[in-house]
Structure 1
Amino acid sequence: MNQVILSLYFFIVIFIGYSSYRKIKGSRDYFIAGKDAGVREIAGSLLATVLGSSAIIGSVNFSYANGWAGSWFMLCAAFGLLCLLPLVDRLKKNKSYNLPELMGEFYGEEVKNLSSVIIPIAWVGIVAAQIMGSAKIISIFVDMNYSTAVILSGLVFIAYTFLGGQLSIIKTDFIQFLFIIAGVVLCFVYILKGNGEINGMGMINEKFDYLDLFIMILTYSSTFLVGPDIYSRIFCARDEKTAKQAIKLSIVILIPLGFILAGIGVYVSSNYGVDIAKGSVLMFLADRVLPQPIVILLYFGLLSAVISSADTTLLTASSTFAQIFMKDLREEKAIRLTRIFILIFGGFSILVALKLTFILPTLLLALAVYSGAFIVPCLAGILGYKCGEKYAVLGILFGGGLALYGKIMGGTTGNMIIISSFLVNFMILAAGRTRKVRI
């Protein structure tokens, strides 16, 4: 029965992609959904993108091991979106389709091309993290081995994104978000009605201190302030007011959701002991605790989370890399070339997912590289400060390289190196500052 349900779900997803494929009339539809999305569509897409399986499964698992500190994942996302609000007017004045185009407007063609190389490489790790999450869900739901589940889910993501582009993503993200919320909230309500305890370490504790929180804000919150996937949502909005209302609605939903996800992890840790949910807390609950109707809804919610994040990140990676070979995404060949790279990056993400099985570290490594490289120069450009193109290139390379090294090293020393990546990036840009420009 579960196999039939899963097959039907994937069929519907691909059908929606095909339906959108038939409605695409040009690059404006494929890359920014016609630039006519309303509050509901933008908010649903923002939330569905934020709540990928890597964020949901990762934050719940983190809470299982580290107590209420797991709530910081969603709170940091909300904080990043809050900081984004004052920048919306500046962003909407640009005619860009994505972040590399924006960087090109600020610093020149060389910076645009460099951004179009580094961002897709980092984003492969994020797509792979979504595929890992999907494979873990599918392997339990239909009793399939992990490798087969990785290939199956990866092929579905690739087909869906290949066909519909941004038009299908915006259309379906709100529905997928409803699945996500229903599955997670019903799970939390059910365990609240039980006799178990929800007692865990505080939001700041011996396993997660203020330095860890500061690093999370730098490398996680900052990707919502300056993030290619988030900006792609903003560029799809019909106007500034729509974008701002959607961001505010997303913040209001993310804050309580952070505590709900943390509460699920703390509940399992409090009542079922150490290491009992080593693979996935949510999968443990689905297998041992929850009734079948909630289990099915939870699985669909998690799969929706996967799809809504994977398609966005895969399209972002592919479209930005395609820009290396053309002037901009408005050219006639843009859609065709982007689809080719969707196949390439999607296939490579499947290979990464087959080799790695740890979702959260993969996600955080990718985000650390991106944030160290791009947060400072992009934010500086949005605020109207400009430096020489060569200095911007050096800032991106040194910032991203230091962040990568720090994340690999880990520990307190690694955290200090990650912090230094932002400072080094800033100093290089300051050294090459030329003049202030109006955006």
Structure 2
Amino acid sequence: MDLLTIAVFGYPLILIGIGVWRSRQIKSHADFMVAGRNVPVALLVGTLICTWIGSGSLFGGAGLAYRTGIAELWFSFGAWVGLLVAFYLAPRVRSIAKYTVPDLLEQRYNAAARILGTVAIILAYVTIAAYQFRGGGWILSIVTDGAISPTTGMIITCVTIVAFTALAGMVSIVSVDLLNGIIITLGIVIGLPYLVFSNGGVGEIAAALPEQHLTVLGGHNVLWVIGVAMPTFLLILGESGMYQKFFSAKDAGSAKKAVVGMFLGVVFIETTLALIAIVGRAVFPELADPEQVSLVGRAASETIILHIAANGLPIVGGAILLAAAVAIVLSTGNTFLLVPSTNVSRDLYERFVDPDASEGRKLALQRLCVVLFGGLGLVLLTQFDTVLAMALYAYSLVGASLTPALLAAFLWRRVTPQGGVACIAGGLGSIVGIALLSRFGVNFTATIGGTAFDFASSDYIVIPGVLISLGLLIVVSLLTPPSPEEKWRPFFQENPEKL
């Protein structure tokens, strides 16, 4: 067994061992959901970074960088801007001290907002968890040279992530994500300079790239930029895993400091991953032709980071980069199974079915949901060809339904319960409706400035979704009576418990 295989199979065993050890500390449902609200800043930064840097970055973003060049950074830029807004919101979110985003939605709006928000989160987050399974399948297939098929690898990854998440929830996630963050950083810091200078340096790499790879738009137009940047901007501001981790912070100040660390870490890691993929285009141009790569088919370019780890780096560097890929897949998959399972156990079961349920029953239900959502994720994988398409659809669903309502809760005192509910319903209905109707042959293509844009595609579907949800938010709120001050006041100060 070579070092690459040991890294891929050994590292998850270490993480699972940590999860088993920490699972003994779970005393209540609250411990499982928010780690007892006692997570220090360093661990919070690590887990926030590792949650965001998932297969969407490792495969979808890197594949886009391989095909497009530095213009891929628009995909990441939306999230960076969103984090600047999150810096302002984080202390308010922590001070309200809830458990989930639907908790916030019901407090600011009503029970209908909680239910609709829960549905949107489950649909989007199970999709995001699912493409972590696909990424893990690719890792196992490549490192074993096809002995483990991508499909078998997906199942192995799914079982691993489900088991790890079900053991200890948020406690296990924050326990290992600092280590994951270190491994990820080490992998890319070693990988990029070695790849550049072992292949002739910056000048040689630049000369081997397609001309448009070094341009700001990469041959695209401004509407394309909006289409790829808006989903990440909107997702991060409606990202329930991030809010749930704010709730896990020791206090409001810790949550705010953690956003600073998250911003710096995300910008560095996403930029470096994109640069590695771009250099990979110069070194391994054959991946641009999917017909030459039978192992992963049409998504060949999305495996560029794995291809570099296996074929472009010395054995130790490759092993570290593959361990980093494993860390990215596992850490993101954990959170995106934990969040929707929390929504079911708390936002549906505890809130509407059995408010007096015992801690043991709620924990058992949440763990069961982790398993069920893992299975559902495997089914969803049959509906998409690429990680990027899955990512953009999931991001758009959250961004169009949850984010406008959440931002309005903290930034617009005039928003009303009716406006918030209309916003969530409109965003959810438009994204799902357009996607389904397009599969039945309805055409959503429009020609703008002589260029045809398919607004049912993953690149552009967020645009009509946001226009509909934002329009409903504003119009319905202005047509309905304002909320009383006690409804909105806690969302406009950092210490609402002093009211």
Smaller-chain TM-score range?
Answer: over 0.9
2:348 is matched with which residue: 321, 324, 332?
324
Say if 2:199 is the partner of 1:197: no
Structure 2, unaligned stretches of length 5 or more? 290-299, 439-443, 446-451, 491-499
| Rounded Cα–Cα distance in structure 2 between residues aligned with 1:9 and 1:177 | 13
Q: Is the 8 A contact 1:28 1:330 kept in 2?
A: no
Task: Indicate whether 1:284 and 2:284 are aligned.
Answer: no
Q: 1:413 to 1:421 in 2, by over 3 A?
A: farther
Q: For 1:83 and 1:329, how far apart are their aligned partners in 2?
A: 37
The amino acid of 2:156's aligned partner reads L
* 2:105–2:406 Cα contact (<8 Å) kept: yes
Which is further off, 210-219 or 54-63?
Answer: 210-219
Q: Could you tell me how far 1:77 is from its partner in structure 2?
A: 2.0
Deviation at 1:41, TM superposition (A): 0.5
1:37, CA displacement in angstroms?
A: 1.0
Taking the aligned partners of 2:90 and 2:159, their CA distance within structure 1 comes to 35
**1:265–1:5 distance in 2 versus 1, CA, 3 Å:** closer
Deviations 1:185-232 (A, max 9, x none): 211111121214135534632544322232334321122223101111
Whether the aligned pair in 2 keeps the contact of 1:388 and 1:434 (CA below 8 Å) is yes
Matches within 5 A, 1:137-148: 137-142=139-144, 143-148=147-152
Gaps of 5+ in 1: none
**Is residue 75–residue 254 contact of structure 1 (8 Å, CA) maintained in 2?**
no
- Distance in 2, Cα, partners of 1:11 & 1:378: 38
Map residues 331-350 of structure 1 onto 2, 5 A cutoff. 332=359, 333-350=361-378
Counterpart for residue 168 of structure 1: 172
Kept in 1: contact 2:50–2:180 (CA 8 A): yes
Q: Secondary structure at the match of 2:489?
A: coil
Matched-pair contact (CA < 8 Å) for 2:8–2:322: no
In 1, the alpha carbon distance for the partners of 2:215 and 2:344 equals 39
Mapped partners of 1:355, 1:20: distance in 2: 36
Question: What does residue range 333-412 of structure 1 map to in structure 2 within 5 Å?
Answer: 333-353=361-381, 356-383=384-411, 385=413, 387-405=415-433, 409=444, 412=453
1:170–1:91 distance in 2 versus 1, CA, 3 Å: same
Question: Aligned residue for 1:434?
Answer: 482
Aligned-partner Cα distance in 1 for 2:356–2:281: 48
C-alpha distance 291-97 of structure 1, shift in aligned 2 (>3 A):
same
Return the offset for 1:8: 2.9
Aligned residue number for residue 238 of structure 2:
226
Which of 222, 235, 240 is matched with 2:247 structurally? Answer: 235
**One-letter identity of the residue aligned with 2:321:** L
State the alpha-carbon separation in 2 of the partners of residues 365 and 132 from structure 1. 16
Give, in whole Å, the separation in 2 of the partners of 1:420 and 1:346. 32
Distance 1:336 1:318, change over 3 A: same
Using the alignment, how far apart are the partners of 2:133 and 2:489 within structure 1? 41
What is the one-letter code of the residue matched to 1:257?
A: I
The letter for the 2-side match of 1:144 is I
Give me the whole-angstrom Cα distance separating, in 1, the residues matched to 2:113 and 2:465.
22
Distance 1:129 1:260, change over 3 A: same
For the 8 Å contact 2:79–2:233, the answer to whether it is kept is yes
Report if aligned partners of 2:58, 2:305 keep a CA contact under 8 Å in 1.
no
After superposition, the Cα gap between the structure-2 partners of 1:335 and 1:132, relative to the gap in structure 1 and judged at 3 Å, is: same
How far did residue 400 of structure 1 move?
2.0
AA aligned opposite 2:205 = E
Cα contact 1:377–1:395 (8 A) shared by 2: yes
CA distance in 2, matches of 1:105, 1:237: 20
Q: Report deviation, 1:130.
A: 0.8
Cα deviations by residue, 1:112-143 (Å, 9 ceiling, x for unpaired): 12222221111111001111111111111123
Q: CA deviation at 1:28?
A: 2.3
Shift of residue 40 of structure 1?
A: 0.7
Residue 72 (structure 1) shift: 2.7
Q: 2:46 aligns with which of 38, 44, 51?
A: 44
Checking the alignment, whether the CA contact within 8 Å between 2:44 and 2:174 is kept in structure 1 is: yes
Residue matched to 1:64: 66
Please tell me the residue identity of whatever aligns with 2:155.
Answer: I
Q: Give the Cα separation in 2 of the matches to 1:278 and 1:342.
A: 31
Deviations 1:86-129 (A, max 9, x none): 11222122121010111111112221122222211111110011
Aligned position for 1:421: 468
Task: Return the index of the structure with the highest Cα Rg.
Answer: 2
Conservation of the 8 A alpha-carbon contact between 2:415 and 2:477: yes
- CA drift of 1:67 comes to 0.9
Q: CA offsets per residue over residues 410-436 of structure 1, 9 Å max, x none?
A: 763513423423432333344335235
Q: Which runs of 4+ in 1 moved over 6 A?
A: none
Question: For 2:24, what is the secondary structure of its paired residue?
Answer: helix
Does the 8 Å CA contact 2:401/2:426 hold for their aligned counterparts? yes
1:184 paired residue number: 188
Distance 1:257 1:13, change over 3 A: closer
Say which is worse superposed, 172-181 or 429-438, in terms of deviation: 429-438
Matches within 5 A, 1:289-328: 289-322=312-345, 323-327=347-351
Q: Distance in 1 between matches of 2:268 and 2:10?
A: 32
Matched, 1:155 2:159: yes
Query: Is 2:139 the partner of 1:116?
Result: no
Q: CA deviation at 1:44?
A: 0.4
1:434 partner SS: coil
Q: Residues 256-271 of structure 1: matches in 2 within 5 Å?
A: 256-271=268-283
For 2:479, give the aligned amino acid.
Answer: A
Which whole-Å CA distance do the structure 1 matches of 2:279 and 2:253 have between them?
40
State which drifts further: 187-196 or 346-355: 346-355
Q: Deviations over 1:47-86 (max 9, x none)?
A: 1011112212221110111110122333322221111111
Q: State the Cα distance separating 1:11 from its structure 2 match.
A: 2.3
Amino acid at match of 1:364: L
Q: Deviations over 1:266-319 (max 9, x none)?
A: 212234436155352112223332211111111110010011100001000111
Deviation at 1:395, TM superposition (A): 2.0
Distance 1:394 1:362, change over 3 A: same
Which shifted more, 175-184 or 386-395? Answer: 386-395
SS of the aligned residue for 2:250 comes to coil
SS in 2 for 1:412: strand
